[in-house]
Every structure is written in C-alpha cells, then in structure tokens.
Amino acid sequence: MDYEHFLAERISRLREQKGVSARDMSLSLGQSEGYINIIENKRNLPSMSLFFYICEYFGIAPKDFFDEGNKYPALIKDFIEILQQLKEDEITDLMNIAQKLHKKR
C-alpha cells in the first residue's frame, strides 16, 4: 500500500464529507492554515500524535481510518450508535430496506 497516497486521499475524502475546508481543518487541529494541504499534496505526513487528533477530528478510530472498504466511517459509526438504541423489529426493518437497496445495485 502506498501510505502517503492513501493518507492524502483518505483525509481529503473525509474532510470533504465533513464539509470543511483544508484551512479550517488545519486551524481546528491547532496547526498552520496550510497544514492539511501539505498532507493532501503528499509533501509531508502527520506525526503519530497528530494522526490521532485527525482521527478524533473526524470522530473515527484509527482502525476505521485505514479500513479501505469503509468509505463513510464517521457516518457508519453514527448509524451504528443509533441502531444500538432501536428495538429488534426496527433493526430488522432497516436491514430489509438495506438488503433491497443493495440488490438494486
């Protein structure tokens, strides 16, 4: 795996899903306004501690960050939290809807 490319693309995609600019994200992380652009342009990698802050910023665990099959980790995490509060029949209904949507692909 080309980690520089993956990291840059993943941060960019998650940032866009969150609807924030690279500048705003950089400043929210306590960095210079161009920090995230530097990472997204593959000119530098974050330190390990800053990587953890980035995951926290997106509301995801590091394992979810690296899960290439999970395109929407923050959304899925939020969905699971909601599912855990539902009754069994409600979860079953949602599962049936999801299966129908998946078959339409």
Each residue of 44-68: pLDDT tens digit?
999 999 999 999 999 999 999 999 8
pLDDT at 39: 97
Residue 30: which domain range?
A: 3-103
- The CATH number given to whatever domain includes residue 50 is 1.10.260.40
pLDDT category at 84 given cuts 50, 70, 90 is: very high
Count: domains in the chain? 1
Residue 45: predicted pLDDT: 94
Cβ-based neighbours of 21, under 8 Å, separated by 6 or more: 15
Helix, strand, coil percent content, the chain, rounded in steps of 5: 70, 0, 30
Mean pLDDT of the chain: 95
- What pLDDT, on the 0 to 100 scale, is given for residue 2? 85
| Mean pLDDT, rounded, for 16-44 | 97
Question: What average pLDDT does the segment 14-34 reach?
Answer: 97
Residue listed under structure tokens 């609807």: 19
